[in-house]
Chains A and B, each alone.
Chain A
Amino acid sequence: MKKFRKIAAVLMAALMVSAAATGCSSGQTSSGASSDGGSSTSDAGSSATGNESGEEYNVYFYAWTNPDNVVELVDAFNEQYEGQYNLVYQKLNDAATMTINTALASGEQIDVMTQASAIDVRTRADSGTYLGLKQYLDAEGMDYATLFSDSMEQAYNFDGDYYAVPYCTNINMVWYNKNMFDEAGVDYPADDWTWDDFRDIAKQMTSGEGANKIYGAMLDYGGPSEGGGGDQYWQLIAQQKLGAFSYYTPDFTATRFDAPEYKESLQFFYDLAMVDQSVVPISEYTTLKYNNDTNGMIGLYNNKYAMFVAPVYACLYLNESYGEVPEGTNIGMANLPRPVGATENSSITYTSTASIPANAPNPDASWALLKFICIEHPEYFAGPKAMHPGVQFEDEESTHAMNEIIFDGHPGLNADDAIAVMEQPRTLITKDNTHKEGQVKINDLIQADMALVFNGEMSVDEALADLKTKGDQYIQEDMAG
């Protein structure tokens, strides 16, 4: 045991020496390599030394949005911190857990990292990857719950500290192709429609056969998380009925996949996919990657299906830079249907968050950027991405102003109509789940089982029974360990 430590230590020391050696020489080698666009390592080195001589510190900001969506942010931030900080945007290829974990482990300088998964924040915080942010919030006299909401505070409070700050809240809505509705003579979705209405309309809007079949709706009910999917929308009704942390019992000691709400929810989407065949089949949308919201919106305006369930930011993909929107495109936005019998509207939300890696060289600079994008100026980061900010607005006026930023300027979308729908009352239920016992494994199991269910190889009851048994077991194992 001791010997092993010694050997490991020697080896690691050798690694460090070789790292230092190549680090020095890479100044020359990668200056040649930097002409091909990458290698931020040498820039990082020079900026750290540059700061001491009174130059601007480069703040490396990692996210996955297109660079043209952060132009405004870069300008505004660099103006406010002129002479002090300089924001450098680094684009990740996607928001997948793997992409972000690999970047965090890569040894590159990262001042602020973003993510779309709540459980990933938890695992990263637990492994010591992220800096606790309470010290900064306290120093500014800020309170997490007041800024973001009680439920956000509950989700992101890990043993008294916070490791991530939400920069946006994504609210699920239903997008629909008005031209297709008009042609079929079907009424647009009502403001108080239910899932049964959704099912009826999807059936009416389905036509054709084979490769050119047109579907009533597209939603990522059970796809894998690779390639921008993994929404697992088969849970929507259960989430609407059971609330936050939906598949855990209130004391987090077991799952509730045996609850009737789960059965109702899965059965409903199973019927849509396998009985009515009115939604895009899983084999097709995972191949065509409609579960990537960009592609999903493209499919909608190209008349592949009449309705598309996706968060608010999907309207951004109507813009030119994401694809060619045909002349005369007319997209509408409707509420997420309510469960049959419910008296008010509700929607499922998730947040994307920003964090500071524990090894960030200049945490003050990181905090400055974090505060800028998440709290002080959501209009510069969430805004251009057509997302609602994580911070709560106190008055209707600023809420409306934000909605205008979000919905204005997307070809094929009537912004006023969309804003009118958006500003209707609804309960927001977050699906951000940061409970660590069992969750990572349960999520993998859900993906594996749902692929079988929606390929017709497993029944609804079998799947839920499997989720219940194994899920409970995972929780027990984690609680014991």
Chain B
Amino acid sequence: MGYSRRKLIFKIVATIIMAIVSIIMLMPFAWMLSASFKPDNQIFNFPIEWIPREITFANYDRVWNSDIPFTTFFLNSIKITVISVLGEVFTSALAGYAFAKIKFRGSNIIFLTYLSTLVFPNQMMLIPRFVLFSQMGLYNTHWALILPGMFTAFGTFMLKQFFETIPEELSESAKIDGANHFVIFSRIVVPLSISAFSALIIFQFVGSWNEYEGPLVYLRSMELATIPLGLNYFKDENSTSYGAIMAASVCSLIPIFIVFLAFQKQFVAGIATSGMKE
């Protein structure tokens, strides 16, 4: 009896401590949210007023009615993320299937090449890609962001690992019935791999949505900017108002928070599996 009671107390204490720590973790967000509703002269009042004394929407008004087109940034981010993530799943699934289920000459060599390039930091690509894109006329277009995102060694590798867990017997029996690889792929393997696809989608979605270096280097026109880049523009031009910058930060974070909260189970599962598979 005494033992489980001690355990209970321990659990309550641990919960309280972890809750306090989590509140500390979330404090920057809380401060940002609270400041975004304050007039500029009250933002730095001390002790910190977590609930604004007077609530103003002027900061949000400034975000949405400035020369800096936030709506456009959202649409750009959605476009780039959706196309590149779906594109990646499509091309990686095809290639992953080939590596996992088809024997063909050179497959080992090609796969090893894929694998070895995983060690190269992405930042190394920044300069050569810029040189390539400017030669190809892709500079300052969304393709400069979409295309590299569509063809990744990581996605191929992850899906290959998953496809290998699908029992060979399933495709063997289909083969006997006269099905070719395209049929096996689309009728058998794809339906069985939805969980792997969603893990990959979620994993890459966050990365693509928050990507900053690529847009910073490959885009010039403000109308093409994504949310992180647009937020930086906004910061530079409106930095005299902390409230407005905080409001812009809030706006930039809300979509990803909503997606995260809506799909949190898949998120956690996706990150955990992508981690294990890597």
A89-108, CB < 8 A from B: 91-94, 99, 102-103, 105-108
Instruction: Mark contacts of A199-228 with chain B using CB atoms, 8 A cut-off: 1 yes-contact digit, 0 otherwise.
Output: 000000000001110000000000000011
| In contact, A41 and B220 (Cβ under 8 angstroms) | no
**C-alpha gap A102/B135 in the complex (Å):** 13
Q: Does A29 contact B (CB under 8 A)?
A: yes
* CB neighbours of B143 from chain A (8 A): 29-30, 33
Q: Closest A-chain residue to B142, C-beta based?
A: A33
Most B CB contacts (10 A, CB to CB) among A30, A33, A94, A287 go to A33
Which residue from B222, B237, B240 sits with its C-beta under 8 Å from A91? B222
A36 B223 Cβ-Cβ under 8 A: yes
CA distance A299 to B241 in the complex (A): 10
Least Cβ–Cβ distance between B215 and chain A, in angstroms:
12
Looking at the complex, which one of A36, A93, A106, A227 makes contact with B142 (CB distance below 8 Å)? A36
Within 8 A of A (CB), among B224-248: 224, 233, 236-237, 239-240
Q: How far is the CA of A367 from the CA of B236 in the complex (A)?
A: 33
Q: A443 near B: Cβ within 8 Å?
A: no
Query: Which one, B45, B138, B219, contacts A22 given CB within 8 A?
Result: B138
Please report which residues of chain B, range 189-239, place their CB below 8 angstroms from some CB of chain A when the two chains form the complex.
217, 219-224, 233, 236-237, 239
A38 to B223, CA, bound (A): 7
Q: Which residues of A contact B221 (CB under 8 A)?
A: 37-38, 91
Q: A16-B135, A37-B223, A212-B41 are in contact. Are A295 and B240 (CB under 8 A)?
A: yes
What are the residues of chain A within 8 A of B132 when measuring CB–CB? 15
With A211-B44, A295-B239 given, is the CB distance from A33 to B136 under 8 Å? no
| A289 interface residue (CB < 8 Å to B) | yes
Report whether A30 and B237 are in contact in the complex, using a CB–CB cutoff of 8 Å: no
Within 8 A of B (CB), among A37-80: 37-41, 66
* Alpha-carbon distance between A39 and B224 when the two chains are bound, in angstroms: 9
A106 and B140 contacting across the interface, CB-CB below 8 Å: yes
Report the nearest B residue to A104, measured CB to CB.
B134
CB of A26 within 8 Å of the partner chain: yes
Q: Which of A370-400 contact B (CB under 8 A)?
A: none
B137 within 8 A of A: yes
Q: Check if B220 sits within 8 Å of A102, measured CB to CB.
A: yes
Check if B236 sits within 8 Å of A292, measured CB to CB. yes
In the bound assembly, the distance between CA atoms of A460 and B239 in angstroms comes to 30
Asked whether any CB of chain A lies closer than 8 Å to the CB of B274, the reply is no
**Cβ of A93 and Cβ of B233 under 8 Å apart?**
yes
Does the CB pair A93–B222 fall under 8 Å?
Answer: yes
The interface size of chain A toward B, counting residues with CB under 8 Å, comes to 45
**Known A-B contacts A36-B79, A295-B239; A22 and B136 likewise in contact (beta carbons under 8 Å):** yes
* A106 CB to nearest chain B CB (Å): 4
Chain A 352-383 per-residue mask, 1 if CB under 8 angstroms from chain B, else 0: 00000000000000000000000000000000
A228 contacts which chain B residues (CB < 8 A)?
236
Q: Once the chains bind, are B236 and A41 in contact (CB under 8 Å)?
A: no
Q: Which of A15, A106, A289 contacts B220 (CB 8 A)?
A: A106
A412 within 8 A of B: no
Contacts of A292 in B (CB 8 A): 236-237, 239
Q: How far is the CA of A335 from the CA of B241 in the complex (A)?
A: 29
Residues of B contacting A40 in the complex (Cβ-Cβ under 8 angstroms): 140
Query: At the interface, yes or no: B152 with Cβ under 8 Å from chain A?
Result: no
Contact A290 B139, beta carbon cutoff 8 Å: no
A211 to B242, CA, bound (A): 11
- The answer to whether the Cβ of A298 comes within 8 Å of any Cβ in the partner chain is yes
Q: Which chain B residues lie closer than 8 Å to A108 at the CB level? A: 134, 139-140, 220
Complex CA distance for A54 and B141, rounded to whole angstroms? 29
Give Cα distance in the complex from A110 to B220, angstroms: 13
Is B72 an interface residue, CB under 8 A from the partner?
yes
Asked if B76 is at the interface (CB within 8 A of a chain A CB), the reply is yes
| A288 on interface, CB distance cutoff 8 Å | yes
Q: Which residue of B lies closest to A40 (CB)?
A: B140
**Contact: B139 with A107, CB < 8 Å?**
yes
Could you tell me the distance in whole angstroms from the C-beta of B229 to the nearest C-beta in chain A?
A: 10
**Minimum CB–CB distance for B184 against chain A, Å:** 32
Assess the B223–A294 pair: CB atoms within 8 A.
no
CB of B63 closer than 8 Å to a CB of A: no
Complex CA gap A227/B171 in Å reads 59
B113-157 with Cβ < 8 A to chain A: 130, 132-143
Q: Are A36 and B76 in contact, CB atoms less than 8 angstroms apart?
A: yes
The chain B residue sitting closest to A62, CB to CB, is B220
Neighbour of A19 across the interface among B75, B130, B136, B220, CB < 8 A: B136
A23 to B139, CA, bound (A): 12
Q: Would you call A18 an interface residue if the criterion is a C-beta within 8 Å of the partner chain's C-beta atoms?
A: yes
| Contact indicator B137/A107 (Cβ below 8 Å) | yes
Assess whether B89 is interfacial by the CB under 8 Å rule: no
B240 CB contact (under 8 Å) in A30, A106, A107, A290: A290
Q: Give the chain A neighbours of B251 by CB distance below 8 A.
A: none
A302 and B140 CA atoms in complex are apart in Å by 37
Closest residue of B by beta carbon distance from A292: B236
Q: Give Cα A415 to B44, complex, Å.
A: 37
Chain B 156-206 residues near chain A, CB threshold 8 A: none
B240 touches A289 (CB 8 A): yes
B240 and A299 contact, CB distance less than 8 A: yes
Measured CB to CB, the closest approach of chain B to A305, in angstroms, equals 12
Interface string of B74-97 (1 = CB under 8 A from A): 011001000000000000000000
Chain A residues, CB < 8 A from B220? 38, 92-93, 99, 102-103, 106, 108
- Please, how many angstroms separate the alpha-carbon atoms of A360 and B196 in the complex? 50
Asked if residues A38 and B135 are in contact (CB atoms below 8 Å), the reply is no
Q: Is B33 an interface residue (CB 8 A)?
A: no
B32 interface residue, CB < 8 Å from A?
Answer: no
Residue-wise interface mask of A (1-43) relative to B, using a CB-CB cutoff of 8 A (1 in contact, 0 not): 0000000000000011011001100100110010011111100
- In the assembled complex, the Cα of A33 lies from the Cα of B222 at a distance in Å of 14
Q: Complex formed: what's the CA distance from A92 to B220 in Å?
A: 7
List residues of B (41-99) whose CB comes within 8 Å of A's CBs.
Answer: 41, 43-45, 67, 72, 75-76, 79
Chain B, 12-42, contact with A by CB distance < 8 Å: what is the 0/1 string? 0000000000000000000000000000010
Question: Which B residues touch A103, using CB under 8 A?
Answer: 220
Query: Is there an interface contact between B44 and A41, defined as CB atoms closer than 8 Å?
Result: no
Distance, CA A211 to CA B43, complexed state (A): 9
A38 touching B239 by the CB < 8 A rule? no
A105: chain B residues at CB < 8 Å are: 130, 134
How far is it, in angstroms, between the C-alpha of A287 and the C-alpha of B241 when the chains are bound?
A: 10
The 6 listed contacts between A and B (C-beta, < 8 Å) are: A26-B136, A30-B141, A38-B219, A93-B220, A105-B134, A212-B41
List the interface of chain A (C-beta within 8 A of B). Answer: 15-16, 18-19, 22-23, 26, 29-30, 33, 36-41, 66, 91-94, 99, 102-103, 105-108, 210-212, 227-228, 287-290, 292, 294-295, 298-299, 302, 304, 321
Q: List the 8 shortest-distance A-B pairs measured between CB atoms, nearest first.
A: A37-B223, A211-B44, A107-B134, A289-B239, A106-B139, A38-B224, A38-B221, A41-B137
- 4 more contacts with CB within 8 A, not counting A37-B221, A107-B133, are A22-B138, A106-B220, A292-B236, A298-B240
